[in-house]
């Protein structure tokens, strides 16, 4: 198949990754090429996709380079900037001869284009719903235009009571070869991910201190003030920061830990770091946020979000989990090949749906968000 993947453009699609969505687009593109598909990645021009993947620049540079995130929140990017960027690729998506488009962009234009122009598209939704995007998703429903979420918990959040759109649950996949099993542990704890308030790095530091566990922290510093105020003062021989590593280097550091802290304090859609640690056989001590319970299950210990004392106790208890059991759960549920198998099945369903009638949906210009009418008319 000729497959287009539209990625988010906040960060480049290149290692070491800034977050789970970037890692997902990269892993998906590489896995599809390995299966013999022809893949074009729509991403920022400073991305470095896997070998064999063609890069089509959505923008010259990733968005965060011009509009950096502040205070641990998403970048304050003008809507016109994102609208202009994604409007610029609509013609290529329509005329590029793709058999299927896999849309990871989190922007409303691609699914609306696919619905109107009968373009086979699978859209994956990796975050809790923003209302504008959720409206676009529900308006774009059609047999050739389908949608995935990564957990059952997120399916409930994206649903609307007055709409019959169904979402396919496809858990994010990880390379269980890269995130390889380590049967032995060194007594340390590990935390890795974007260092920002909603990921709860500071809570992991507090819990490690209470539990008297050495803690190693890895990942990009997204909020420098947060790092300097809540983490840096505790760095020393027992709590260390090791930077943002490639998956290969990071997996080796994670695999030797006895427990992984996973501490989201927001509506966590999936929990890629938890799944990656589990693939190494490392049990997880986690906050019960969003889909965490669905991902971790019995491969760790889960406590109420924000309860640092309980998290400290959970870490000690999780260290007694059978590491082979933890590994087996991750392989069975989150292997990248399993994810791609399901995506290929859905690609075929979208393509087959091109000959089917679509439900009635009102696309009158007055119903579109401000600023979208011109783009709408341009693609009709």
CATH of the domain at 201: 3.40.50.2000
Query: Does residue 181 belong to any structural domain of this protein?
Result: no
- Judgement on whether residues 268 and 159 belong to the same structural domain of the protein: no
CA-closest candidate to residue 194, choices 283, 265, 130, 297: 265
pLDDT on residue 361:
66
Distances (CA, A) of 70 to 254, 330, 368: 28, 34, 29
For residue 370, give its domain range. Answer: 2-173+336-379
Considering the domain architecture, whether residues 139 and 210 belong to the same structural domain is answered as no
CA 142, chain centre distance (Å): 24
Q: Express each pLDDT in 180-197 by its tens digit.
A: 999 999 999 999 999 999
What is d(CA 132, CA 135) in angstroms, rounded to the nearest whole number? 5
Which DSSP symbol is given to 221? B
Place of tokens 């990564």: 150
Instruction: Kindly state whether residue 180 falls inside one of the protein's structural domains.
Output: no
What pLDDT digit, counting tens, does each position of 313-354 carry? 999 999 999 999 999 999 999 999 999 999 999 999 999 999
Does 121 lie in the same domain as 226? no
Indicate whether 298 and 359 sit together in one domain. no
pLDDT-flagged residues of the chain (< 70): 69-78, 361-380
- Total residues found in the chain within this entry: 380
| Model pLDDT, residue 363 | 53
The number of domains in the chain is 2
Judge if 88 and 200 occupy the same domain: no
| pLDDT for residue 374 | 37
- In a domain? residue 159: yes
Is residue 42 domain-shared with residue 158, that is, in the same domain? yes
Residue 184 lies in a domain: no
DSSP class of 229: H
Name the β-bridge partners of 123. Answer: 103, 147
Q: State whether 18 and 146 are in the same domain.
A: yes
| Largest pairwise CA distance in the chain | 64
Q: Which one of 333, 351, 368 terminates a domain?
A: 333
Residues 28 and 157 in one domain: yes
Q: Are 292 and 214 in contact (CB under 8 A)?
A: no
Q: What is the pLDDT of residue 342?
A: 98
Residue 182 domain-assigned (yes or no):
no
CB neighbour class for 228 (10 Å; exposed up to 12, middle 13-18, buried from 19):
exposed
Model pLDDT, residue 365: 37
Question: Can you give the pTM of this predicted structure?
Answer: 0.88
Clarify whether residues 346 and 199 are in a common domain: no
pLDDT at res. 76: 61
């Amino acid at each position: 198949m000729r497959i287009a993947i539209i990625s988010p453009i906040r960060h480049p699609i290149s290692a070491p990754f800034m977050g789970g969505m970037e890692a997902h687009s990269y892993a998906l593109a590489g896995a599809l090429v390995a299966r013999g598909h022809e893949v074009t990645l729509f991403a920022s021009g400073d991305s470095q996709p896997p070998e064999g993947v063609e890069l089509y620049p959505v923008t010259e540079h990733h968005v965060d380079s011009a509009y950096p995130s502040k205070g641990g929140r998403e970048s304050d990017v003008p809507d016109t900037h994102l609208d202009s960027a994604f409007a610029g690729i609509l013609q290529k998506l329509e005329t590029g001869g793709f058999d299927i488009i896999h849309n990871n962009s989190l922007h409303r234009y691609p699914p609306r284009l696919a619905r109107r122009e009968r373009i086979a598209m699978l859209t994956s939704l990796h975050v809790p719903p923003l209302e504008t995007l959720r409206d676009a998703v529900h308006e774009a429903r059609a047999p050739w235009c389908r949608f995935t979420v990564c957990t059952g918990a997120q399916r409930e959040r994206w649903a609307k009571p007055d709409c019959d759109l169904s979402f396919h649950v496809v858990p994010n996949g990880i390379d269980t070869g890269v995130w390889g099993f380590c049967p032995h542990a060194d007594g340390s704890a590990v935390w890795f991910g974007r260092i920002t308030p909603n990921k709860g790095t500071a809570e992991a530091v507090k819990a490690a201190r209470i539990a008297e566990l050495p803690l190693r922290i890895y990942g990009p510093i997204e909020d420098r003030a947060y790092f300097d105020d809540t983490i840096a003062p505790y760095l020393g021989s027992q709590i260390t920061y090791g930077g943002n590593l490639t998956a290969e280097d990071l997996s080796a550091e994670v695999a030797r830990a006895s427990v992984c802290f996973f501490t989201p304090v927001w509506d966590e859609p999936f929990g890629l770091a938890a799944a990656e640690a589990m693939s190494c056989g490392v049990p997880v001590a986690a906050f019960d946020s969003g889909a965490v319970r669905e991902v971790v299950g019995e491969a760790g210990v889960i406590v109420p979000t924000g309860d640092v004392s309980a998290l400290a106790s959970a870490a000690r208890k999780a260290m007694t989990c059978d590491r082979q059991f933890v590994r087996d759960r991750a392989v069975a549920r989150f292997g990248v090949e399993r994810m791609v198998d399901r995506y290929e099945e859905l690609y075929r369903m979208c393509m087959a749906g091109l000959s089917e009638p679509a439900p009635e949906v009102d696309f009158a210009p007055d119903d579109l968000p401000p600023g979208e009418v011109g783009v709408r008319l341009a693609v009709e």
